[in-house]
Chains A and B, each alone.
Chain A
Amino acid sequence: MTQHRKQVILGAHFPGVNNTTVWSDPASGSHIDLSSFTHFAQTAERGRFDFLFLAEGLRLREQRGRIHDLDVVGRPDTFTVLAALAAVTQHLGLAGTINTTFNEPYEVARQFATLDHLSGGRAAWNVVTSSDAFTGENFRRGGFLPHAERYERAEEFIATARELWDSWPVDAVRADGADFLSDASAGTFEHRGKHFDVAGRFTVPRSPQVHPVVLQAGDSSDGRELAARSADAIFSRHSTGDGAREFYLDVKGRLERYGRRPDDLKILPAATFVLGDTDAEAVDRAAEVRRQQVSPQTAILLLEQVWNRDLSDYDPDGPLPTVDPIVSDASSIVRGRARQVGDPAAEAARYRAVAEAKGLSIREVVIELTGRQTFVGSPETVARALEHAVATEISDGFILVPHITPGGLDEFADRVVPLLQERGVLRRDYAEGATLRDHLGLGPARPASDWGTGVSAAHGASAEPLRTGVRASA
């Protein structure tokens, strides 16, 4: 077997409910119909992607106390869509973002175990937390958790889910001769912890991957540490340059103390792209896409997120406001999503400096300073950049976010993927019978007791030997 070059892991992020997604383009289709998801998933599978990725939102966003109406609004239920996609795809991993604050481990563990069975070992869970009382108003459990506790709960949640997934021994289902079960206690679990005090029987027998692939989006030091302790992959915001490499090395460096190897945790930044026949054409298209993404109304709205005040009377084609931003963090005008602006005064100063230096209007400066695409160029340029990023420890691959639903991935699959295959950094075919863990080059799932999360847990079945899965040749 020849030595393989380091493979580029590819995730396909279904376009989300933010202004990256362009709904005003004539090519933009439904964000709800299964046909859109099917098209997107089948394109990703044709392009030999590792997985499809769905984000989460559990309350419609609001700005200035009203439902935000300028971006795509609304999305279907994540698990339900992924289960439907399991029927119309054969190889593609199916990753869902599921909150640990507004769910219970028993439900989430059975949903992911079910998805893993129905898809033949293709399930993945992007674990997120929320401390948001605003979102909590949609839930009977309501409320929120202090920031520190939400990570604590998330970690114990994952540990509990792993215990549930381990609770059915290998070959517990015999279905032969006298007995259906070979073990009368199959599915028995007990977890006594600070956040979860549960015991009983789990409903879903051991699934093909045993544990779905676990992704996290940790970025703070706590978040990185949590990922190093408990995840298979990180969905990161650091897609390019020194910041990305620093993040990569920092997170990989945290693994050893948990007895893990660098390859055990994949770093997968979100990335956008715009293609053209030539690099110059791609740059022009990218500028046009940016104008679509930042409509005049959206420009004001994004500026309000920096200024943290009502700017609805301002002309998007006019100059920046002369009033100063509201610095108090007591009340954010944005609700239902994380506010990205750290220091409004410094950020406003940056906007003013750029606007002044280049003579830009509100809309132009917002276009200039927000959401620039990660990869812009000809298919050759983009393929080379992807390979380079992975070869130089910027990432282990990317979760690509197209700006058009559902066709935004088509051109990438048709034009970039063949080049990545020629370069030997992307599979030409999926390995027969491979699970998502196999696609990603992750070993068999380690039982809950191996993760050493320090969470007290008592459970009987986790010492059972694990199925040794077929690993992808890469």
Chain B
Amino acid sequence: MTGLTPNATPIHLAVALDGAGWHPAAWREPGARPDDLLTARYWADLTTTAERGLLDFVTIEDSLDLQSADPFSDDVDTRTDQVRGRLDALLVAATVAPLTRHVGLVPTVTTTHTEPFHVSKAVATLDHVSHGRAGWRVQVGGTRGETGNVGRRTLPPIRRDLASSPEGRAAVRERFDEAADHVEVVRRLWDSWEDDAEIRDVTTGRFVDRDRLHHVDFEGRHFSVRGPSITPRPPQGQPVVTALAHQTIPYELAARSADVVFVTPHDDEQAASILGEVRGAEARVGRNARPLTVFADLVVVLGSTTDAARTRRRRLDEAAGSPLTSDAHVFTGTAADLASLLLRWHDVGYDGFRLRPAVVVDDLTAVVDELVPALQRAGAFRTAYDPGTLRERLGLPVAVNRYAAASA
């Protein structure tokens, strides 16, 4: 790709943490620590490594169902050769918050089966305990497994082939509309306390100024929520809302509800076309907030040479018994070549990248020790953290309180 104007803004870099890594055989690698996946120490080590690499944030995967080879299948997963079992992502983020100082913490929380009131105060509290480093990866649930586990409601399961029928598309659209309502309620609750609501006025005996607390009075098709939150407004005002999206309806959810979208281009051509689709979705939903910050997701298998990386991938695939497949492009090569790819896509218009390490202990370390220095040499990545919140790091504007603005 030539003729592009170099993108002068710095690259943003995140890693997606999930168990031992994104390759199903990751846990078999010599340093993988498969016995530690449920310990605070393991997650503290990963996040401090990410922080050593000056990364913008980490995301943490989660689901209201056990991992399975195919979450959309009706068949019971009987595999015993892959990682199964995980901790609640938001609580993992909360535990590592006091052990880190800079790196953003973005847990995955599903919308379909959760209470917006609980999600709002949990993410707000993560923002309080991390001093403004919290985000939320919004995940729309609705597989058969999740619905059966939670049992609060009966829902037609969302299937992989949903786009192939009008009914399927309508069901998906409804689920995503509900997710948009969920995020709207969460955001309103974050604003339901004005920043200066706590006054501690001894003369009048008042701890809060109740005129600076607001009912949110959300009435939607799926639920209504009165508010205000029980938790004061988080330090960022609005923690960073992110979503992974692969097609039109999810792009539109991101455009309606998120600050950051993760997309999955597989080549240069898609890199350009998906960016176009995201901008199109923004126009269709009438997004009037600042345009989405767009990250490309990449699974990364790194090596000191291209051959070494390929050898690693081959070894992992053999251990897994099948080649790695992913919704995202799988990059196999050196950190220098990865840096070139990121710089090229950055010039296309991507703000950042969320890297999914194939083997966390190895590929996260390679990102920190090799990729980051390569990007720094290119002048495209920070050499130290600036003070500030995750929003500020990502260049998001100050979150104006909708209720304070209305009453001002």
Contact = CB atoms under 8 A, between A and B. Distances in A.
B204 A297 contact: yes
Q: Which of A88, A175, A204, A205 has the most CB of B within 10 A?
A: A175
B221 to A, nearest CB: 11
Given A74-B231, A104-B113, A114-B88, A298 B205 contact: yes
A204 B84 contact: no
Interface string B43-81: 010000000000000000001111010000000011111
A33 B85 contact: no
A88 B90 CA distance: 17
What's the interface size class on A, roughly?
A: 35 or more
A180 B95 contact: no
Nearest to A86: B95
A203 B34 contact: no
Given A23-B207, A60-B230, A83 B91 contact: yes
B114 interface: yes
Interface stretch (B115-123, B260-268, B326-334, B354-362): B115-123
A107 interface: yes
B388 to A, nearest CB: 18
Nearest to A197: B151
A338 interface: no
Interface string A302-313: 000000000000
B248 interface: no
Given A74-B231, A87-B98, A80 B129 contact: yes
B213 interface: yes
Interface in A253-306: 295-298
Given A87-B98, A182-B80, A58 B230 contact: yes
Interface residues of B, number: 75
A59 B215 CA distance: 11
Contact of A175 (B27, B122, B208, B231): B27
Contacts of B128: 32-34, 76
Contacts of A298: 205
B149 interface: yes
Contacts of B122: 77, 79-80
B117 A107 contact: no
A106 interface: yes
A286 B210 CA distance: 30
Contacts of A175: 27, 34-35
A209 to B, nearest CB: 13
Interface stretch (A135-143, A325-333, A393-401): A135-143
B98 A34 contact: yes
B202 interface: yes
A74 B114 contact: no
Given A77-B122, A137-B225, A180-B34, A83 B95 contact: yes
B152 A104 contact: yes
B231 A76 contact: yes
A353 interface: no
Given A33-B128, A74-B208, 13 more contacts: A34-B128, A71-B207, A76-B121, A77-B118, A80-B94, A87-B97, A115-B91, A168-B85, A181-B84, A185-B78, A198-B151, A203-B65, A205-B85
Interface of B: 27, 34-35, 38-40, 44, 63-66, 68, 77-88, 90-92, 94-99, 113-118, 121-122, 124-126, 128-129, 145-146, 148-152, 193, 198, 200, 202, 204-210, 213, 222-228, 230-232
